[in-house]
């Protein structure tokens, strides 16, 4: 059976002819075995680096217990193949990690190629989520691997020429002995280097020596993407493949009572109709169930699905209605909740304040709605299952597939395709499990295709949120007390039917880690039962938290008669590194998995992005009537971001955005061009969330179905100008993919207030 062509593409395919010849007709193990005779493979693990080549080094385990996290392969043809273990969804992670390794390796960038790792625990954490791929996923390990390989190549060259290693130097894919004017390319040295022991202490470059890191470098993926050569999960095909679309339950928790497939089977191209088992609530990552129509084409499968007659069972979520649920959440935040942080005496402070301010903020469900809906191709045969999928988390997908088809993980292979957007949706493997189940039932390869409507109506929407904030200001306009109540269905409800309160981990996303110097603070989690699956979404609960806090701080500034940026800087309480373990939190405050001593909540960095965006945006300069600027600042994923949004409000109420300035301090930008791109995309997504997007429910069903009613910004509505300002503070490295989103929504709402002198964010969208 023909294997699908996988999209591990390169800018110059002619340079891959050697690799193609080696790979033809070989499985992965055979390929690595034969490769050892043609070059050398360098692998890194959490415990060190080892070399696989003509003879294994002493540090390599031969009993299968050694599990490398990343591989570097250098062939006799000089090609440098970097195997990347994180998923590429347009954020540039594969190029960024390759830059880190290639720089330390002193590689010729034109000879660098990428290969995507399959899902396997030997690579360490492969989940491309949480803005961790560079800072946690491989930045240091990739550099160490490159440095070790360079040292080995230099040692091999020195031995070849019989000179001290200190007399040779690597540069641009070759090693040179200047005294004798001799040069050898990496390909010529690969076999000899593979016999050497691997250094564990190869020195890393200093920043002044970087060739690629921190520079603008051509993407290794972009050319294939923009010329249509890149392949995504929706593109995958195999001989004999059947395409499946599934009619899933219209309400979360409903199941198939009975169905009639006779009309569907009469559609030309439809070959079979199969019921997919339904998951019990809470569904977790399991498929929702329903009825699958399998056909020889996507069109036939969709047309056949239209002809299905299905009766559904009742669901406990049949009455879910967003209008009524909002009232429920309002009642929840107006009553006492579970105390998760209590510093000082907030009620006494607010009662005695010179001014009191209170407000409520509502944020609706949001759909991921990536440009490419989910898709997965599975081939179950001979007691094994291989899949090709647009997954952010191939290891979780591997386990989900193994579970649904009754195999061990070792008998499942998950190949990661390029992802046409994801935003967290494609870390959930339900769609991949569907394909595996149907392939086993059909005894043929099956590709499950989700339509846009399927994705919006049956996905894992971002949580809905209601928040109430109350504060008191003293006579000098300083905040003396802050009460913050949050009612939001937790992500945990997707996995546990008893979770009805936002977890401490979710509240650590902008609420428990509040940086402002307020002497009396109380945070309460309020009841919010879930009525649909809840999933993480780009920036997760930072979105509603940053929105509410950013808008409320603006209201406090106005109540105090202060300039909003001056008020925010003053509220930070001076430059300090906050000890978040001593802030009155009931449980230790999470710090995106990092230690607080390594990544403190640094108010100087908050101030730095605020001052930068103030200076760059023209803050304070006079605007025409009907225009306004708004500001907000937020720390998420260990990165500090401030945004100034400028709006223009027409007489008919139409709002346009002439300009957005966004300042980001991520510590260090490995690939600045991609960081700027991520910020630009974050601005557009955040404005879509705030201005256009809302996923609502009535009678338990999602009301919206496609981009016609689940609105995202069109080009005409996008900001006319987005200016990105990277702040170099010298702080530790943070994430990049998500932190640009949270502050933009509040900055937009605050700009509308400045332009209209009204408070629309008190009654945010339903």
Q: Say if 435 falls within a structural domain.
A: yes
Peptide bond into 2 cis (omega under 30): no
Identify whether 539 is part of a domain: yes
pTM: 0.91
pLDDT digits (tens, 9 = 90+) for 725-749: 999 999 999 999 999 999 999 999 9
Instruction: Work out the angle between the directed axes of helices 672-691 and 542-560 (0-180°, nearest 10).
Output: 80
Long-range contact list for 397-401, CB < 8 A, 24+ apart?
397/119, 397/429, 397/432, 397/433, 398/119, 398/120, 400/285, 400/286, 400/429, 400/430, 400/432, 400/433, 401/429, 401/432, 401/433, 401/436
Residue 581 lies in domain: 322-367+461-763
- Pairwise CA distance, residues 283 & 532, whole Å: 10
Structure tokens at 435: 């394909």
Q: What is the pLDDT of residue 47?
A: 28
Q: Are residues 58 and 146 in the same domain?
A: yes
Residue that is last in its domain, among 392, 418, 449: 449
Q: Is residue 4 part of a domain?
A: no
Residues 399 and 497 in one domain: no
**Cα separations in angstroms, 272 against 1, 219, 291, 304, 668:** 21, 43, 11, 10, 54
**What pLDDT does 39 receive?**
56
* Nearest one of 203, 84, 180 to 134, comparing CA atoms: 84
Gap between the Cα atoms of 182 and 73, Å rounded: 24
- pLDDT(367) > 80: yes
> What mean pLDDT do residues 599-611 have?
97
Angle among Cα 444, 118, 202 to the nearest 5 degrees reads 165
Is 274 in a helix, a strand, or coil? strand
Residue where a domain terminates, one of 404, 429, 449: 449
Q: Is residue 3 part of a domain?
A: no
Q: Is the pLDDT of residue 133 over 70?
A: yes
Q: What is the CATH number of the domain that holds 405?
A: 3.30.365.10
48: left (phi over 0), alpha (psi -120 to 50) or beta: left
Please tell me whether residues 724 and 592 are part of one structural domain.
Answer: yes
* Shared domain check, 348 and 243: no
Residues 427 and 566 in one domain: no
**Using an 8 Å Cβ cutoff, are 193 and 40 in contact?**
yes
For residues 177 and 52, membership in a common domain is answered with: yes
Among 196-200, 300-304, 414-418, the minimum mean pLDDT is found in: 196-200
> What is the chain's mean pLDDT, rounded?
90
Domain boundary among 449, 478, 513: 449
pLDDT exceeds cutoff 60 at 8: no
Out of 222-226, 342-346, 658-662, pick the least confident: 222-226
Check whether residue 684 and residue 748 sit in a common domain: yes
Q: Considering only 52-66, 158-172, 515-529, 671-685, which range has the smallest mean pLDDT?
A: 52-66
Helix (H, G, I), strand (E, B) or coil at 176: strand
C-alpha 123: how far from chain center: 19
pLDDT at 760: 57
Query: Domain count of the chain?
Result: 3
- The predicted structure's pLDDT at residue 764: 41
> Residue 457: in which H helix or E strand, if any?
helix 452-458
Regarding whether 600 and 688 lie in a shared domain, the answer is yes
* Residue 695: per-residue pLDDT: 98
Q: Is the pLDDT of residue 17 over 60?
A: no
Q: What is the mean pLDDT of residues 598-618?
A: 97
pLDDT digits (tens, 9 = 90+) for 231-282: 999 999 999 999 999 999 999 999 999 999 999 999 999 999 999 999 999 9
pLDDT of residue 215: 94
Percent of the chain's residues with pLDDT above 70:
90
Q: Does a structural domain hold residue 165?
A: yes
> What separation in angstroms does the CA of 386 have from each of 205, 276, 381, 392, 436?
40, 19, 9, 17, 8
pLDDT reported for residue 54:
30
**Comparing C-alpha atoms, which of 472, 477, 560, 474 is closest to residue 522?**
472
Residue at 736 is within a domain: yes
Q: Both 276 and 156 in a single domain? A: no
Find all residues with CB under 8 Å of 271, minimum gap 6, and list them: 242, 294, 295, 296
Least trusted range by pLDDT, from 64-73, 373-382, 462-471: 64-73
Q: Quick check: is 679 in a domain?
A: yes
pLDDT of residue 581: 80
Q: How confident is the model at residue 70 (pLDDT cuts 50, 70, 90)?
A: low
Q: Is the pLDDT of residue 675 over 90?
A: yes
Sequence-distant (6+) residues with CB within 8 A of 742 are 510, 539, 542, 543, 545, 546, 547, 550, 634, 636, 641, 686
H/E/C letters for each residue in 21-86?
Answer: HHHCCCCHHHHHHHHCCCEEEEEEECCEEEEECCCCCCCCCCCCCCCCCEEEEEECCCCEEEEECC
**pLDDT value at position 40?**
55
Q: Are 378 and 438 in contact (CB under 8 A)?
A: yes
747-766 pLDDT, tens per residue?
A: 999 999 999 988 655 444 32
Separation in Å, CA 189 to CA 102, 160, 161, 171: 17, 9, 12, 14
Residues 27 and 53 in one domain: yes
Same domain as 553, residue 431: no
Q: Which of 559, 543, 583, 577 is nearest to 753 (CA)?
A: 559
Residue 4: pLDDT band (50, 70, 90) is very low
In sequence order, what E strands does 262-308 have?
Answer: 270-276, 290-295
In-domain check, residue 454: no
Asked whether residue 274 falls in the same domain as residue 335, the answer is no
3-state secondary structure of 168: strand
Range 446-469 average pLDDT: 98
- Is the distance from CB of 16 to CB of 75 less than 8 angstroms? no
Among 568, 505, 499, 500, which residue's Cα sits nearest to residue 540? 505
């Amino acid at each position: 059976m023909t294997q699908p062509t996988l999209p591990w593409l390169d800018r110059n395919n002619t340079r891959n002819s050697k690799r193609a010849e080696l790979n033809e007709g070989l499985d992965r193990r055979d390929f690595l075995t034969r490769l050892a005779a043609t070059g050398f493979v360098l692998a890194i693990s959490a415990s060190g680096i080892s070399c696989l080549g003509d003879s294994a080094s002493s540090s390599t385990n031969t009993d299968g217990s050694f599990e490398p996290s990343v591989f570097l392969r250098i062939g006799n043809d000089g090609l440098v193949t970097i195997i990347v273990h994180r998923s590429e969804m347009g954020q540039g992670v594969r190029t960024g990690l390759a830059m880190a390794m290639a720089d330390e390796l002193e590689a010729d960038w034109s000879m660098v190629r990428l290969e995507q790792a399959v899902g396997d625990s030997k690579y360490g954490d492969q989940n491309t989520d949480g803005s961790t791929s560079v800072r946690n996923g491989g930045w240091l390990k990739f550099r160490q691997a490159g440095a070790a390989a360079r040292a080995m190549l230099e040692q091999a060259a020195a031995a070849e020429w019989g000179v001290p290693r200190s007399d040779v130097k690597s540069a641009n894919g070759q090693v040179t002995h200047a005294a004798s004017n001799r040069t050898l390319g990496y390909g010529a040295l690969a076999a000899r280097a593979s016999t050497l022991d691997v250094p564990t202490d190869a020195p890393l470059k200093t920043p002044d020596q970087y060739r690629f890191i921190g520079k603008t470098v051509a993407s290794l993926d972009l050319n294939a993407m923009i010329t249509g050569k890149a392949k995504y999960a929706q593109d995958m095909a195999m001989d004999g493949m059947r395409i499946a679309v599934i009619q899933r339950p219209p309400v979360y928790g409903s199941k198939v009572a009975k169905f009639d497939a006779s009309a569907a089977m009469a559609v030309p191209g439809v070959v079979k109709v199969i019921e997919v088992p339904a998951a019990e609530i809470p569904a977790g990552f399991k498929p929702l169930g329903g009825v699958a129509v399998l056909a020889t084409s996507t069109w036939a499968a969709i047309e056949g699905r239209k002809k299905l007659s299905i009766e559904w069972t009742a669901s406990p979520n049949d009455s879910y209605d967003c209008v009524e649920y909002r009232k429920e959440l309002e009642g929840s935040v107006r009553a006492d909740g579970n105390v998760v942080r209590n510093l000082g005496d907030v009620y006494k402070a607010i009662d005695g304040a010179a001014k009191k301010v209170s407000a409520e903020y509502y944020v609706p469900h949001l759909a991921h709605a990536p440009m490419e809906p989910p898709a997965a191709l599975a081939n179950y045969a001979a007691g094994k299952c291989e899949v090709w999928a647009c997954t952010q988390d191939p290891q979780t997908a591997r386990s989900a597939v193994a579970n649904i088809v009754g195999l061990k993980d070792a008998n499942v292979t998950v190949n990661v395709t390029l992802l046409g957007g994801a935003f967290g949706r494609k870390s959930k493997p339900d769609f991949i499990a569907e394909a595996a189940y149907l392939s086993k039932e059909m005894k043929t390869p099956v590709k499950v295709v989700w339509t846009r409507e399927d994705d919006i109506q049956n996905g894992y929407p971002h949580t809905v949120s209601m928040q109430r904030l109350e504060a008191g200001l003293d006579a000098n306009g300083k905040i003396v007390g802050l009460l913050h109540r949050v009612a939001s269905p937790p992500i945990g409800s997707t996995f546990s039917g008893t979770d009805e309160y936002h977890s401490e981990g979710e509240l650590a996303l902008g609420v428990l880690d509040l940086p402002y110097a307020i002497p009396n603070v109380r945070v309460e989690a309020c009841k919010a039962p879930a009525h649909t699956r809840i999933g993480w979404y780009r920036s997760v609960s930072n979105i509603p938290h940053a929105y509410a806090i950013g808008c409320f701080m603006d209201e406090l500034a106005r109540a105090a008669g202060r300039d909003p940026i001056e008020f925010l800087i003053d509220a930070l309480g001076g430059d300090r590194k906050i000890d978040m373990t001593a802030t009155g939190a009931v449980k230790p405050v999470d710090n995106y998995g990092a230690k607080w001593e390594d990544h403190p909540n640094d108010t100087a960095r908050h101030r730095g992005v605020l001052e930068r965006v103030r200076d760059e945006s023209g803050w304070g300069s006079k605007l025409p009537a009907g225009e306004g600027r708004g500001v907000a600042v937020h720390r998420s994923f260990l990165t500090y971001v401030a945004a100034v949004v400028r709006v223009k409000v027409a007489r008919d109420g139409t709002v346009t955005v002439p300009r957005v300035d966004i300042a980001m301090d991520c510590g260090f930008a490995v690939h600045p061009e991609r960081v700027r791109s991520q910020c630009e995309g974050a601005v557009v997504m955040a404005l879509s969330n705030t201005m256009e997007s809302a996923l609502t429910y009535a009678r338990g069903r999602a009301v919206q179905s496609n981009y016609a009613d689940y609105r995202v910004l069109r080009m005409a509505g996008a900001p006319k100008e987005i200016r990105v300002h990277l702040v170099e503070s010298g702080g530790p490295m943070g994430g990049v993919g998500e932190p640009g989103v949270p502050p933009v929504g509040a900055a937009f709402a605050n700009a509308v207030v400045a332009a209209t002198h009204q408070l629309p964010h008190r009654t945010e969208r339903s």
